Amino acid sequence: MSECSPKAFSSKAGYHPLVNRVSEFLTPWNNYSMVVAFSGGLDSTVLLDISRQLRDSGIIHSVRAVHVHHGLSSHADQWAEHCRSLCGKWDIPICIERVDISNACQDGVEQAARDARYAVFEQQLDNNDCLLLAHHGNDQAETLLFRLFRGAGINGLAGIPKCRTIKNTVLLRPMLSSSRQEISDYAVSKELFYVEDESNSDETYTRNYLRHTLLPMLEGQWPGVTGRLSLLAQELSDVNEQLDIAIQSHLKSLICCKPQWMLGEKPLLNGQALMSFSLPVARQVVRAWLKSQHFSMPDRVVLEHLFSEVVQARVDASPVIKWQGCEVRRFRSLLIASRPQKLQQHSSYPIQWDWKNQSCIRLPDGKILQVRHGGYSERHSFLLPEGRITIYFRDDIPADRLFAVAGRNGRKTLKRWLQTYQIPPWLRNIVPVLFFGDKMMGVPGLWVCPEFYGKGGKTLLLS
């Protein structure tokens, strides 16, 4: 995929300056198909008109539009029809998608509408498409203030990015360096007709209050402040980009994986080594680690608790901190982030598995246990019996019963074997233990008991 920095470009004579600016920005992606997010409002109408001109001049490959019908306004059908009519006039293919956000609470309507839009955009994009959004410099200033007042850190204050990945392609904002006034002047000069969303004047929405009340007050006191805020957001974005390079380097040095702990390839963070960095750097490393796993970011208070209660906890402690959609634990100095586990309640314990007729089975925690032919490794290869396998969990097995493990000396309780294999405490109750009759066969991915171990066994994989 091309980088976000535009290549050299010479302005095309006769074009409006705004067209030249957009054309220059899009130069690295000229061979892509442009998909314009088209609401029918002022900004997206201008962007679509510019894209049409660039297509007709052969500067970009092709253009199509996507309109999301939220159904929030009594005029929504008229707006959709306006978009369809204008695209027909300009010979631009358009897709109109309806979404339902009627269940969103009043405070969450803006976010629900945004989430629905982006879900539609992702559905519509192919690998050779670029999604174009019509955000401009005033939007950038509003975003900076909005995030500042909500207590955002450096990442948030970097504002709206000019480009970012979406699905398997790229999202671009070619008018981000232009002002709302420039866009409005362009529309007047071209006699463009566009729709007005009445909700844009409703100041119960935070962004509208910023746009219609706060920013005009600031402009009255400090003329040009909107443009300066937009430039500040871009400077913060540049600084953040360089900071991110350094943080990613630190993060890479602190990451390891422990598949033998039943954690697969989950990236674990070395908490002990983390504290060798200054606290501000350590915080940024943790944020980058969580972001890489697509977890929601903790706020400042939660992040402080994460360090004081988890990272810096006693060596023998088993600390955990939770926030929406994420929980972070520490085990043997390593930090582990995961989604909160919701185990299904089964009344059918133990689980009977007819492995010959059912090659895979879903366990209560959502993991899949499956049979594969051929040995994989000592801790995966089982000599499977002719009959059904019984799957138990730790609480189903007598605490004082002793078992032997192939390749290990002595006999131990299940608890002691799980400790020997360093399984984190919170995972021990969901580890599947296989039995045939009253004989333990082993634990897939950890060990095989002697009677069921040997060459030519079948592989049992837990994923």
Lookup: tokens for 336? 């582990």
Label residue 349 by pLDDT band (50, 70, 90): low
Burial string for 219-245 (b: 16+ CB within 10 Å, else e) reads: eeeeeebbbebbebbbebbeebeebbe
Q: Residue 210 belongs to what H/E stretch?
A: none
Parallel, antiparallel, or unpaired: how do β-strands 33-37 and 129-132 relate? parallel
Task: Identify the pLDDT of residue 7.
Answer: 37
Task: Identify the pLDDT of residue 428.
Answer: 85
Burial string for 70-109 (b: 16+ CB within 10 Å, else e) reads: bebeeebeebbebbeebbeebebebebbebebeebeeeeb
Q: Does position 259 have pLDDT exceeding 80, yes or no?
A: no
For residue 458, report the phi and psi dihedrals to the nearest 5 degrees.
Answer: -100, 150
Which value, to the nearest 10 degrees, does the dihedral of the CA atoms of residues 350, 351, 354, 355 take?
-110
Which one, of 382, 391, 276, 414, lies nearest residue 333 by Cα? 276
Quick: pLDDT tens for 308-340: 999 888 877 788 899 888 999 998 888 999 888
Q: Which residues contact 30 (CB under 8 A, 6 or more apart)?
A: 59, 60, 61
More confident residue, 139 or 445: 139
- Rounded CA gap, 18 and 47, in Å? 10
Q: Does position 2 have pLDDT exceeding 70, yes or no?
A: no
294: left (phi over 0), alpha (psi -120 to 50) or beta: left
Is the link from the previous residue into 174 a cis peptide, with omega within 30 of 0? no
Average pLDDT over residues 98-105: 75
Which one, of 371, 406, 407, lies nearest residue 389 by Cα? 371
Label residue 1 by pLDDT band (50, 70, 90): very low
Contact (CB, 8 A) for 244 and 237 = no
Task: Identify the pLDDT of residue 106.
Answer: 54
Quick: pLDDT tens for 357-396: 888 888 887 788 888 765 455 556 788 888 888 999 888 8
Q: Does position 460 have pLDDT exceeding 80, yes or no?
A: no
Average pLDDT over residues 273-294: 93
Average pLDDT over residues 82-88: 96
Q: Which residues contact 458 (CB under 8 A, 6 or more apart)?
A: 371, 372, 373, 374, 381, 382, 383, 384
Which one, of 130, 195, 191, lies nearest residue 162 by Cα? 130
Contact (CB, 8 A) for 118 and 197 = no
Listed in sequence order, the DSSP H helices in 27-129 are: 42-56, 76-89, 109-124
Lookup: tokens for 278? 């200054």
Quick: pLDDT tens for 176-230: 999 999 999 999 999 999 998 777 777 777 888 888 899 999 999 999 999 999 8
Query: Mind listing the domains of the chain with CATH numbers?
Result: 17-233 (3.40.50.620), 257-338 (1.20.59.20), 351-462 (no CATH)
Task: Identify the pLDDT of residue 154.
Answer: 76
Quick: pLDDT tens for 195-210: 987 777 777 778 888 8
Which one, of 322, 311, 252, lies nearest residue 283 by Cα? 311
pTM across the whole model: 0.65
Quick: pLDDT tens for 128-168: 899 999 999 999 999 899 888 877 777 778 888 899 888 88
Helix, strand, or coil (residue 419)? helix
Label residue 345 by pLDDT band (50, 70, 90): very low
Q: What's the gap between Cα 433 and its chain centre?
A: 34
DSSP assignment, residue 6? P
- Rounded CA gap, 362 and 358, in Å? 11
Quick: pLDDT tens for 4-53: 433 333 445 457 899 999 999 999 998 899 999 999 999 999 999 999 99
